[in-house]
Structure 1
């Protein structure tokens, strides 16, 4: 696709500095830009690299000017880049219809515009919405509900009674609705507690590859609207995430913990069960949360504590070797004085 600099600026609510009729044929980082490409820059060093590149125009969010490039000024260059990218790299479209190798129960309701790829299995009572695409090898269990414009990438599994909202993307190998980890000890053995709840994934959620979200023991496990989960994330039974939460890779969440809206959980963190995590909470990387966290609090470390407290502790730990040396020297001096006083 080809656009003019002026049309891109109009789309973004920006301003063109230079020739608005300049044709833009692609989008690239400055180091890989070719003639006709649009690129973006947020800082002086990045702008210098963009200006030295072969790109035809630069998206900026500051008072940058160029004698050699067209500049498109916008409020936020990174946000503008995210909005422009789909123009030059439109998402793939999938032809409506059911692949001959798919197995579809007669009671399933599949919108005529949906795409069911090869080797999919669609169970009884399933409902699949408009323009949704199952890309292959997907198993959709009994009574699942899938909204419009959903993408299930290869080998995603939905256990029975899972509910998926609109515009959800679930990446390859992820399992939604598998049994929660629930047992009680009885007469010398671990007795399984039947997991009879379900999972609800609300609208505009994206879930990374090889993640697992467990069905509730009773009730519902929920991923709130607009939330984004990275790869290799485990969400246990009855966990509830609020709206627009961000979860980085390799995180795990024990059962029945509730998160507010706009939480950010950094990579390789874990949160214990039956906790209440407030709105706009941030959990630093590799942290272990073992207590409730209030709204807008940032916690870090194991056990996780307010980030300023944890950082002071880390700094103090770094000073321990020198403190030990000084302490031993003081002990020698004290012993020498005690000998003299003898």
Structure 2
């Protein structure tokens, strides 16, 4: 659907500089844009590319001169995120239950919800208004899904999972599987039954092939507004606070608690029973073995405050030169020792002691 530059500016709360009547049909990156396309520039480099390209209009967040129509906004990247749905609206399937779906006894599916082909909705489960279950989704017994929940193909919710409003879970993710709990009985590992559940707050998005284990007794909790990337493992009885970012291939061991606004970069590992404070950031590939106080940045294996870790990294980079210098010093010391040893051997063999004057000194 086409929009004028003025219409887009109103949608974004921005202002038009140039021709507000220019019609925009698509959104495209600057180097691939054609006439009739809109693009964006969040810095001078992107602005130069956009100016040289063929786009008809550019979203900017700074004063600029251009032969093209500009839409000036407070933040170009936020505007980019808000304008894309205008040009690429998400497909919403029609409400209803597909004939191949299986809905258990006592389950309640809101009339505005969509249950796709080969889905299973367990007994007594609740599917809220406008929720969408794409093909082959499994919703276990006694699950509760709030309004506008989207479950992409082959998502699995074990029994008693609770999803808040506007939760989105991508393909292949499993929520509520058994926690990894065993006790040693002689040579045998005895399984501890995992009888808890999972609670996921409003506006959470979970990527593809993520696993969130249910609690051993109580719940595993994912707080409101948290975003979880692909291939993340969250163990039993973990609590994740609100608006956290957990990046791909991160693993969080059992009963660890994350505060609000925590950022865990790619491939971070957290040991169990830790407490991670609010607004903590952990750098990629770090292994966290200790509690982290609020507001700190940690990195490394084992993880430690970032300034301390960076000093160690710098020192490690200097190690080859230090080893070379030590080897040179060792050679010099060995040569000096050899020379001094030769002098000591010559002293007793001489006929005179240079420290004593001729005639005995007295």
The answer to whether the superposition gives a TM-score over 0.5 is: yes
Partner of 1:39: 39
Q: Is the 8 Å Cα contact of residues 17 and 65 (structure 1) preserved in structure 2?
A: no
Aligned-CA RMSD value: 0.8
Q: How far did residue 187 of structure 1 move?
A: 3.4
Partner of 1:27: 27
Partner of 1:335: 334
Partner of 2:61: 61
**Helix, strand or coil for the counterpart of 1:200?**
strand
For residues 106 and 337 of structure 1, the distance between their equivalents in structure 2, rounded to whole angstroms, comes to: 92
**Helix, strand or coil for the counterpart of 1:118?**
coil
Q: Is the 8 Å Cα contact of residues 242 and 260 (structure 1) preserved in structure 2?
A: yes
For residues 157 and 186 of structure 2, the distance between their equivalents in structure 1, rounded to whole angstroms, comes to: 34
Alpha-carbon displacement from aligned partner over 1:19-71 (angstroms, at most 9, x marks no partner) = 111111111111121211111001111101111111111111111120x2101
Instruction: Kindly name which structure, 1 or 2, has the bigger radius of gyration based on alpha carbons.
Output: 2
Q: How far did residue 188 of structure 1 move?
A: 2.7
Q: Is the 8 Å Cα contact of residues 24 and 38 (structure 1) preserved in structure 2?
A: yes
Partner of 1:126: 125
1:122-271 correspondence to structure 2 within 5 Å: 122-271=121-270
Partner of 1:113: 112
Please, which runs of 5 or more residues in structure 1 have no aligned partner? none
Partner of 1:7: 7
1:66-85 correspondence to structure 2 within 5 Å: 66=66, 68-85=67-84
Q: How far did residue 204 of structure 1 move?
A: 0.5
Alpha-carbon displacement from aligned partner over 1:62-117 (angstroms, at most 9, x marks no partner) = 11120x21011111000011011101111111111111111111310000011101
Q: Is the 8 Å Cα contact of residues 174 and 211 (structure 1) preserved in structure 2?
A: yes
Q: How far did residue 11 of structure 1 move?
A: 1.6
Please, which runs of 5 or more residues in structure 2 have no aligned partner? 342-362
340 and 38 in structure 1: CA distance in 2 versus 1, 3 angstrom threshold: same
**Helix, strand or coil for the counterpart of 2:70?**
strand
For residues 245 and 214 of structure 2, the distance between their equivalents in structure 1, rounded to whole angstroms, comes to: 20
For residues 42 and 257 of structure 1, the distance between their equivalents in structure 2, rounded to whole angstroms, comes to: 38
Count of residue pairs brought into register by the alignment: 341
TM-score between the two structures when normalised by the length of structure 1: 0.98
Partner of 2:356: none
For residues 47 and 327 of structure 1, the distance between their equivalents in structure 2, rounded to whole angstroms, comes to: 52
For residues 202 and 62 of structure 1, the distance between their equivalents in structure 2, rounded to whole angstroms, comes to: 37
Partner of 2:346: none
For residues 48 and 124 of structure 1, the distance between their equivalents in structure 2, rounded to whole angstroms, comes to: 59
For residues 12 and 222 of structure 1, the distance between their equivalents in structure 2, rounded to whole angstroms, comes to: 35
For residues 269 and 76 of structure 2, the distance between their equivalents in structure 1, rounded to whole angstroms, comes to: 33
For residues 214 and 310 of structure 1, the distance between their equivalents in structure 2, rounded to whole angstroms, comes to: 32
Alpha-carbon displacement from aligned partner over 1:98-154 (angstroms, at most 9, x marks no partner) = 111111113100000111011111110000001111101111111000111111111
Q: How far did residue 290 of structure 1 move?
A: 0.6
